[in-house]
Amino acid sequence: MYFVICPAVCGGLMFHQITDPAMQALFIATFQAGWFIESMWSQSLVIHMIRTPKIPFIQSWASKQVVCLSFAGIAVLTMIPFTPVAQALKLARLPGIYFAWLALIVVCYMVLATVLKTVYIKRYGELL
């Protein structure tokens, strides 16, 4: 976010290079919007990663209600920076490339959580 997305939105400048207060505010609002969405995606999905010793979404699915609520929450919260609510929360619209980076980061996070879960189970014999 800080090194790629925000500078892309702000003309290629890092925060410390920006002198215009409006551009600084855009950098901050972009960072906060990206962090907000990434946090919602990762925390909503990590619940599925740690709920079972199996591989979630491949070997094991949560109940339909849990899956639907998880993805509905992700969808609704992802839309917030693109609605009038964003101004009240001081969030900026995110560029499309952000979502490619988001997908990569979330997939890596899910893989890491699954690997560490497997290591934990091998060491302690059960998930919890």
* pTM for this model (two decimals): 0.86
- 83-122 pLDDT, tens digit per residue, is 999 999 999 999 999 999 999 999 999 999 999 999 999 9
Angstrom distance (rounded) from CA 111 to CA 105: 10
Whole-number CA gyration radius for the chain: 18
With a cut of 80, say whether residue 45 has pLDDT above it: yes
* Helix/strand/coil (H/E/C) assignment for every residue in the chain: CCCCHHHHHCCCCCHHHCCCHHHHHHHHHHHHHHHHHHHHHHHHHHHHHHCCCCCECCCECCCHHHHHHHHHHHHHHHHHHHCCHHHHHCCCCCCHHHHHHHHHHHHHHHHHHHHHHHHHHHHHCCCC
With a cut of 90, say whether residue 25 has pLDDT above it: yes
Give the chain's domain count.
Answer: 1
What's the pLDDT score for residue 128? 74
What's the pLDDT score for residue 29? 97
**CA count, 13 A, side-chain hemisphere, 82:** 9
- 46-82 pLDDT, tens digit per residue, is 999 988 888 888 898 999 999 999 999 999 999 999 9
Mean pLDDT to the nearest integer, 35-53: 92
> Packing angle between helix 21-50 and helix 96-124, nearest 10 degrees?
40
What's the pLDDT score for residue 111? 92
> Which structural domain range is residue 37 located in?
5-124
What's the pLDDT score for residue 127? 81
